[in-house]
Structure 1
């Protein structure tokens, strides 16, 4: 039987929905980009997770308590911090884009030696008012819901969407690289970058590369290999 592409009602939204527009008088002025690095030790990461646990415990009775991963909690914290650092109005919308590895989410999963691109993007949107005023656990819950829907059906639907809309150039740069209210997160946390050895020993320092973009965040493991980042 011939397989036909299908698009579920909410599928392909990352490609079909335009990013929020910047509500700022300086929207046409190229910003001065600043690059910063922050180290979070395991104790600080655990403190963020415990903060979410306490906020979940304080929710109204009858509401299902959620358990969030360290990545989800750190992503929520980073998104909130970015919103607080920007001088933008409360009604400004911000979309958080997260790169998701689809290798283990597809059914059957792709083989360990698969060398192709299996990265999908998920997106969730919130106002700056909510990012700055709502509890951390509320923001993390939105991220958790966004990642949870990235199942086999969703990913295959995204592929079908791209097959039916073959003009891939229009998907490049979903959000603006500059003067953007958005945030993009890539996690290399689980990649053993400090185990790499090309004959000179392990690297002394590893950092994110690639093109410059406002709001781009990369999570990297610490050289101590103790769960810090």
Structure 2
């Protein structure tokens, strides 16, 4: 069928990056000092998201010129995204996490590698050494919400690394931010006017939880560092692999899904159902154990009224499906796809508001065995900067074994890349099941 699992290739352990300059950057014009309300969705994802965007050499835009343009564009962007120059703060009166728009600044770093871009290996493979391509602040109590690093390679290619707080953006709003950053770098107007009103996703008054929410774990207290089980970093030894599905593989899964399912199955639904079965059955087998899969659903268009296109906060909630391991092993694939489809369709305006209200009453956090997060069609690789589109964009390796990421393939390939992190024995079982259930 053309599917493949890329075994751990020979990876550079050290990209030999030298940091040449680190500076704090500020909005290019004065911004208003204020506090930014964070929704109950925002406050759940209180961790950084680290991405690297690779670019081929461009004779008209050597890395030094790109660094200058990128720094200036970021300073201009901080005017329109003033909260990115602020800091997270726990309001003592409301006991809510918020962003203090204090203009303390973001961080801009310039570095250089001793390697050519062609020498650092497969860009689509999650190499832990890519962590050298973005900067982590070591200042306790003064953590910037946005850090950008421009790293040049010997060939003239370069990487842009971003570490941004997930409280600031979800994937879609970060893509819009990048579009706007690219426009500013080209001295053009913003591509999309950002909307920072997080009250659009505030809880109702009084809160009304109108559905049961087995996909949430309820916490009595919410400290700034609390994370739910699926967001917890694992202390176990983990293997990292990329599983690849071609468009033919996805079409084959859609064919398998035909039968009891109502309507046609989407690519996302069949991929998610396939991953769910493999992940649940890769753990020590207990036929009576329940497995809950979580998957991200963008609610922007599902709300009434819909959110503005430029909404900058987190507008993604976790839909879910639950089944016993025995059912996942023995059921027709179409049944598993149906459960995933039902989970996505459950996410109506009222259901989304009920989740948000549950967060107000109980600090509800996503809770499940595995979370599938799709970056497949976010379009980071389609952002048109003055120096061109990225060759590839990828997350930096995380140590969360219960989050599986979907990414577009490298270059002009079709299909999808699935990035998995699991303990070695579970990874071997996952790989075997991944291929077995495709046949």
- TM-score interval for Structure 1 and Structure 2 normalised by the shorter chain: 0.7 to 0.9
Residues of 2 paired with 1:145 and 1:172: CA distance? Answer: 21
Matched, 1:8 2:213: no
Query: Cα gap change, 1:88/1:208 in structure 2, threshold over 3 Å: closer, same or farther?
Result: farther
TM-score, normalised to structure 1, is 0.76
Q: SS at the partner of 2:242?
A: coil
> How far did 1:131 drift?
1.1
Greater strand content: 2
Q: SS at the partner of 1:37?
A: strand
Contact 2:371 2:402 survives alignment (8 Å): yes
Q: What is the aligned counterpart of 1:217 among 396, 404, 407? A: 404
Aligned pairs for 1:5-154 (under 5 A) are 5-10=207-212, 12-16=213-217, 31-53=236-258, 56=259, 65-154=262-351
> How far did 1:127 drift?
1.4
Higher relative contact order (CA 8 A, sep 6+): 1
Partner of 1:208: 395
> How far did 1:226 drift?
6.3
Q: Cα deviations across residues 74-101 of structure 1 (Å, max 9, x unaligned)?
A: 1001111223333322222211011111
Contact 1:97 1:122 survives alignment (8 Å): yes
Contact 1:92 1:128 survives alignment (8 Å): yes
Structure 1's unaligned 5+ residue stretches are: 22-28, 176-181
Q: SS at the partner of 2:244?
A: coil
> How far did 1:210 drift?
6.4
Q: SS at the partner of 2:309?
A: coil
Partner of 1:174: 367
Residues of 1 paired with 2:302 and 2:412: CA distance? Answer: 26
From the CA coordinates, give the structure whose radius of gyration is larger.
2
Q: SS at the partner of 2:263?
A: coil
Contact 2:211 2:354 survives alignment (8 Å): no
TM-score, normalised to structure 2, is 0.42
Q: SS at the partner of 2:297?
A: strand
Runs of 4+ residues deviating >4 angstroms: 197-200, 224-227
Residues of 2 paired with 1:66 and 1:75: CA distance? Answer: 17
Residues of 1 paired with 2:335 and 2:295: CA distance? Answer: 17
> How far did 1:31 drift?
3.6
Structure 2's unaligned 5+ residue stretches are: 1-203, 220-228, 417-439
Query: Cα gap change, 1:102/1:9 in structure 2, threshold over 3 Å: closer, same or farther?
Result: closer
RMSD between superposed Cα atoms in Å: 2.7
> How far did 1:213 drift?
1.4
Contact 1:96 1:125 survives alignment (8 Å): yes
Residues of 1 paired with 2:291 and 2:254: CA distance? Answer: 23
Matched, 1:189 2:189: no
Q: SS at the partner of 1:36?
A: strand
Contact 1:205 1:223 survives alignment (8 Å): yes
Residues of 1 paired with 2:266 and 2:350: CA distance? Answer: 23
Residues of 2 paired with 1:43 and 1:125: CA distance? Answer: 28
